[in-house]
Amino acid sequence: MEIFLQQIINGLVQGSVYALVALGYTMVYGILGLINFAHGEVVMIGAMLALSALTSLLGMGAPPALALLLSIGLAMLGCMVLGYSIERIAYRPLRHAPRLAPLITAIGVSIVLQNLAMMIWGREYHSFPQMIANHSHTFGGAIINDIQIIVFVLALAIMAGLMVVVHRTRLGRAMRAVAENQHAAQLMGVDINRVISITFMLGSALAAVAGMMISASYGLAHYYMGFLLGLKAFTAAVLGGIGNLRGAMLGGLLLGLIESLGAGYIGDFTGGFFGSNYQDVFAFFVLIIVLVFRPSGLLGERLAERA
């Protein structure tokens, strides 16, 4: 039972990070019908930027809390500029091209960003500075630490904030209008290029926070970390129903749980033949199952629909 509870906690925390990244995929898909495969690299750049900023700020003797806030802010800002530039340079010229063209371009952007990060930050793992004592709390026999609590609560707060923006503001209305019918949105006076840029910037800001969370949870950041993470978050978005914001959040949390429970119990179920190192297999198993049996995802309404 303790193991079960422990896996649930780990899964929800990890899943909340997947959800943040999945939102970036799903927002862009909703508005452009494009799968932005470079999004995982934006998460990685966010983590790297945050880590560099944090290390140098701490080195200059800044108080930890201030350094942390500043570096999150800087990483978000940097990723927003990056997200804006990716759309402007790589995707906008292909807006009316066949759908395969931007997809291949997205993979290209992803490779460019990885190599760029490797040139700037090198091939080695960067460790996240230990700034505060990371207390552990026992909870029904399971353990949860401060970082996990912060990650989970912050992720939920950000998601709630995003829902308010999308469903309660003029900008959010415009985003939903552009997602549904670009021509009609223009006829309302909406500058669709501006709305698309803002969508990329919002998604990238979420990615920066997610990158920071991951490097804080694992204590590490690496130029290649965005690849697998991006694929998993994409899986989460597909699981929830790509294009659907609530779906991305649900898919993220579910995927986190599936992975964590799967990794926790696979040893027992296979008599020790497979171990928890097979954790990554579950995400792609889920992806295949969803694509075969329910391509529109859990909350996706029929195929042509978007959110």
Partner 1 sequence: MTKPLLEIRNLQAAYGGIQAVKGIDLYIAPGELVALLGSNGAGKTTTLKTLAGLLHPASGQIQYDGKSLHNIAAHQRVAMGMALVPEGRGVFARLTVQENLQMGAYSRDDKKEIATDLARMYELFPRLAERRDQLAGTLSGGEQQMVAMARALMSRPRLLMLDEPSMGLAPLMVQKIFETIRDIAALGMSILLVEQNARLALQVAQRGYVMESGAITLSGEAGELLGSDAVQQAYLGS
At its nearest, how many Å lie between partner 1 and the CB of residue 271? 50
Q: Which of residues 263-282 bind partner 1 (CB under 8 A)?
A: none
- 296: CB partners within 8 A, 6+ apart: 241, 302, 303, 305
> Are residues 49 and 78 in contact, defined by beta-carbon separation less than 8 angstroms?
yes
Which of 7, 296 has the CB closer to partner 1?
Answer: 296
Q: Which of residues 172-211 bind partner 1 (CB under 8 A)?
A: 173-174, 176-177, 180-181, 183-192
At its nearest, how many Å lie between partner 1 and the CB of residue 89? 21
Which of 135, 168 has the CB closer to partner 1?
Answer: 168
How many chain residues bind partner 1 (CB under 8 A)? 18
- Comparing CA positions, the residue from 229, 175, 184, 185 lying closest to residue 29 is 175
At its nearest, how many Å lie between partner 1 and the CB of residue 241? 14
The dihedral region occupied by 244, where left means phi > 0, alpha psi between -120 and 50, and beta the remainder, is beta
Distance CA 193, CA 175 (A): 11
Distance CA 187, CA 55 (A): 49
Which of 133, 187 has the CB closer to partner 1?
Answer: 187
At its nearest, how many Å lie between partner 1 and the CB of residue 169? 11
Residue 53 near partner 1 by CB under 8 A: no
CA dihedral 126, 127, 131, 135 (to 10 degrees): 150
At its nearest, how many Å lie between partner 1 and the CB of residue 175? 11
Which of 154, 180 has the CB closer to partner 1?
Answer: 180
Which of 236, 245 has the CB closer to partner 1?
Answer: 245
Which of 96, 183 has the CB closer to partner 1?
Answer: 183
The dihedral region occupied by 243, where left means phi > 0, alpha psi between -120 and 50, and beta the remainder, is left
At its nearest, how many Å lie between partner 1 and the CB of residue 12? 29
Q: Which of residues 204-243 bind partner 1 (CB under 8 A)?
A: none
At its nearest, how many Å lie between partner 1 and the CB of residue 223? 39
Which of 111, 164 has the CB closer to partner 1?
Answer: 164
Q: Which of residues 134-173 bind partner 1 (CB under 8 A)?
A: 170, 173
Token digits of residue 98? 């066949």
At its nearest, how many Å lie between partner 1 and the CB of residue 21? 24
Which of 56, 181 has the CB closer to partner 1?
Answer: 181
Which residues of the chain form contacts with partner 1 (CB under 8 A)? 170, 173-174, 176-177, 180-181, 183-192, 307
